[in-house]
Each structure stands twice: as C-alpha cells, then as structure tokens.
Amino acid sequence: MPDFDYVDVFTLATDAAGDATPEQWARAMFGDVPDPGERLIWRGLLGLRLTRGRSSDTVAGWRVAERGEDWIRLETASPYLTANLVVRTSEGRVSLGTFLRYERTLGRLIWPPLSAVHRRLVPGVLRKAAARVR
C-alpha cells in the first residue's frame, strides 16, 4: 500500500475471532450495503464513491481490493482522499485498520475533526461485529 497521511488500528480480543473469515468480519462490521449513518459520513461528509447494491466484490459499497488468508482490504476514494480499511483476524483477535491519503487540501481539513468521531465509534463497531459473529 502507498504512503498514508492518517493511520489507526483498533484490535478487539475475542474468542470469536476464528469463527469467521476476514470478509465475514468486515460484513459483520459494515453490512453488505452502507446504512444511513455510514452513507452520511462516507458519502455525504467525505465524498467517498460507494457502489450501490450487494455484491461479492464490495462490502458496504467499498470495493474489495485484496484478500489474504487472514485479512481483507477495502478501498474507495473521493476527489480529495483515498481510503482503505483493513480487517485482520488472528488467534483470539480481530483488528480494523483505517488508512487515508489526502489527495487535496480539503481532505487534510475535513478528516482531522471527523477522526475524533471515528476513534470513538470503531471500538463499538468491533464489539457489535463480535456479537454478530457469535
């Protein structure tokens, strides 16, 4: 992956980590299509291009860019930033990494205040996904 301007990784210890593939974990986190809140943030505030409808090539409108045995990378972009989400499973843990590259100044201005909300939401996203996987 290229250089990024923003990176975070959240990890949840869970006995359910091995109960699902990384793609199943990603779908447990975000669903097959984005919910209204995700559309508001991803499309409305960040301008991310999301595909419509369900597909084996997308998770919540994000394109599946790559898959590995214990990880999946989702990718999308807007005119001012490129975004990747990486879901990784390992023994007893599931992780969600967010990787952003600012393509224009607007990305650099918009993301920092939104990142505070993002960092508050992600732990709950992981916990809810674990409950769904169980």
pLDDT in tens, 111-133: 999 999 999 999 999 999 999 99
How many Cα atoms are found within 13 Å in the side-chain-facing hemisphere of 66?
Answer: 10
Q: CA 43 to CA 62: how far, in whole Å?
A: 11
State in Å, rounded, how far the first CA of the chain is from the last one.
31
Contact 50, 39 (CB under 8 A): yes
pLDDT in tens, 59-104: 999 999 999 999 999 999 999 999 999 999 998 999 999 999 999 9
pTM of the model: 0.94
**Which pLDDT belongs to residue 91?**
87
Quickly state the pLDDT bin for 2 (edges 50, 70, 90). low
**Which pLDDT belongs to residue 1?**
56
CATH domain 6-133 topology: Alpha-D-Glucose-1,6-Bisphosphate; Chain A, domain 4 (3.30.530)
Q: CA 36 to CA 97: how far, in whole Å?
A: 22
Quickly state the pLDDT bin for 52 (edges 50, 70, 90). confident
Question: Domain locations in the chain?
Answer: 6-133
- Residue 92 DSSP symbol: T
pLDDT in tens, 65-75: 999 999 999 99
